[in-house]
């Protein structure tokens, strides 16, 4: 099953129109939470709005056969229509009487009602928020609309992403209004592997190496970054995208129905079974074909150049 071939899971969200999210990225979130997440470590969403992405990620977690019934998707949002076109969006699509600045959490609660047992809400300004819930499987970012919010994401949430298996979905990536995302991810590009270049506005990356705190701080620089250094970082990001193009057409991931391989299984895998070559920068790709009695999951490029998972 792939989010590229079948986005029906996201159709109710699109039909209702109560989301600033595409069907592809919505379906991707569902399948990642269902088939990739451990079911025992939290998922974090920054920017929940009316609950489109949360309802799909929460549904995926609930449908995950390994879900322990306690692990949550943690949703961070201020739930007040005071940014951008939010009030207008709600007025035209949901409630004609909705006023600017009004609280919209009742709409989030309604859209996520069916998965509420898999969700924990953190209401408030992200500038004051932090994370103390331990390692996370997936960080979904749909809030990095300013350099400051991007820095909070980098410094307070990204450090919790589990190295080797942790996934970063950045929904602000394919938006030219947010260039700080490109300079920061460019600076950090050697720590990530590209999994999905584009699903609607989202990019999907896997954290392959721990990021030192000083690198996270430096990655958040934007306003005072000299133009030349900004361009260097963007070029590094381009290398990450090009590197992926240069890789073999097929590699394997170990997963039951696409589940994470235990890190120990990957470390123990014989070299000859490792399908990913060293990258141009000489950083070995740690994913092997896996073992430990788990089903394999194949990943390849479809003719459009996009990556699918089955």
Ligand X SMILES: C[S@@+](CC[C@H](N)C(=O)[O-])C[C@H]1O[C@@H](n2cnc3c(N)ncnc32)[C@H](O)[C@@H]1O
Site track for ligand X across 81-110, x = CB under 6 A: --x---------------------------
Q: Which stretch binds ligand X (CB under 6 A): 19-27, 62-70, 199-207, 247-255?
A: 19-27
Name the token pair of 105. Answer: 């959490």
Q: Is 85 helix (H, G, I), strand (E, B) or coil?
A: coil
Asked if 125 touches ligand X (CB under 6 A), the answer is: yes
Shortest distance, CB of residue 20 to ligand X, whole angstroms?
4
How far apart, in whole angstroms, are the C-alpha atoms of residue 116 and residue 263? 31
Asked if 143 touches ligand X (CB under 6 A), the answer is: yes
Give φ, ψ of 115 to 5 degrees. -120, 20
Name the token pair of 52. Answer: 């489109």
Asked if 48 touches ligand X (CB under 6 A), the answer is: yes
Total residues at interface with ligand X (CB under 6 A):
18
Which lies closer to ligand X via its Cβ, residue 108 or residue 260? 108
The answer to whether the beta carbons of residues 43 and 3 sit under 8 Å apart is no
Which lies closer to ligand X via its Cβ, residue 18 or residue 266? 18
Which lies closer to ligand X via its Cβ, residue 22 or residue 290? 22
Neighbours of 11 (CB within 10 A): 12
Asked if 2 touches ligand X (CB under 6 A), the answer is: no
How far apart, in whole angstroms, are the C-alpha atoms of residue 272 and residue 265? 14
How far apart, in whole angstroms, are the C-alpha atoms of residue 168 and residue 207? 7
Q: Which stretch binds ligand X (CB under 6 A): 112-120, 122-130, 252-260, 265-273?
A: 122-130
The answer to whether the beta carbons of residues 144 and 170 sit under 8 Å apart is yes
Asked if 57 touches ligand X (CB under 6 A), the answer is: no
Shortest distance, CB of residue 262 to ligand X, whole angstroms?
31
Among 22, 39, 42, 52, binds ligand X (CB under 6 A): 52
Asked if 157 touches ligand X (CB under 6 A), the answer is: no
Angle at 21 between CA 258 and CA 54, to 5 degrees: 65
Shortest distance, CB of residue 184 to ligand X, whole angstroms?
17
Asked if 126 touches ligand X (CB under 6 A), the answer is: yes
Asked if 58 touches ligand X (CB under 6 A), the answer is: no
Which lies closer to ligand X via its Cβ, residue 50 or residue 181? 50
- Contact residues for 168 (Cβ-Cβ < 8 A; gap 6+): 138, 139, 141, 158, 161, 192, 204, 205, 206, 207
Helix (H) or strand (E) run with residue 26 in it:
helix 23-31
Residue 294: half-sphere exposure toward Cβ, Cα within 13 Å: 25
Residue with token string 């000859």 = 272
Q: Which stretch binds ligand X (CB under 6 A): 18-26, 220-228, 256-264, 297-305?
A: 18-26
Asked if 6 touches ligand X (CB under 6 A), the answer is: no
Q: Which residues bind ligand X (CB under 6 A)?
A: 19-21, 47-50, 52-53, 77-78, 83, 125-127, 142-143, 149
């Amino acid at each position: 099953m792939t989010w590229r071939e079948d986005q029906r899971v996201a159709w109710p969200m699109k039909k209702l129109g109560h989301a600033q999210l595409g069907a592809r990225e919505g379906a991707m979130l569902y399948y990642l939470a269902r088939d990739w997440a451990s079911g025992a470590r939290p998922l974090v969403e920054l920017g929940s709005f009316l609950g489109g992405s949360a309802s799909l990620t929460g549904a995926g977690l609930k449908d995950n056969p390994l879900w322990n019934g306690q692990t949550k998707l943690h949703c961070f949002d201020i739930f007040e229509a005071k940014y951008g076109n939010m009030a207008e969006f709600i007025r035209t699509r949901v409630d004609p009487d909705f006023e600017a600045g009004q609280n919209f959490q009742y709409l989030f609660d309604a859209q996520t009602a069916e998965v509420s047992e898999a969700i924990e809400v953190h209401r408030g300004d992200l500038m004051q928020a932090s994370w103390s819930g331990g390692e996370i499987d997936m960080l979904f970012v749909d809030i990095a609309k300013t350099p400051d919010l991007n820095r909070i994401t980098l410094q307070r949430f990204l450090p919790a992403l589990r190295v080797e298996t942790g996934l970063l979905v950045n929904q602000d990536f394919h938006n030219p209004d947010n260039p700080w995302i490109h300079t920061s991810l460019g600076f950090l590009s050697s720590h990530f592997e590209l999994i999905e270049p584009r699903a609607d506005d989202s990019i999907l990356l896997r954290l392959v190496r721990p990021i030192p705190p000083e690198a996270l701080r430096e990655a958040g620089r934007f306003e005072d970054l000299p133009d030349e250094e900004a361009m260097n970082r963007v070029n590094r990001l381009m290398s990450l995208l090009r590197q992926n193009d240069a890789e073999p057409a097929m590699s394997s991931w170990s997963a039951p129905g696409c589940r994470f391989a235990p890190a120990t299984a990957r470390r123990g895998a014989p070299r000859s079974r490792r399908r990913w070559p060293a990258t141009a920068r000489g950083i070995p790709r740690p994913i092997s074909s896996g073992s430990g009695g788990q089903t394999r999951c194949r990943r390849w490029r479809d003719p459009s150049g996009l990556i699918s998972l089955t």
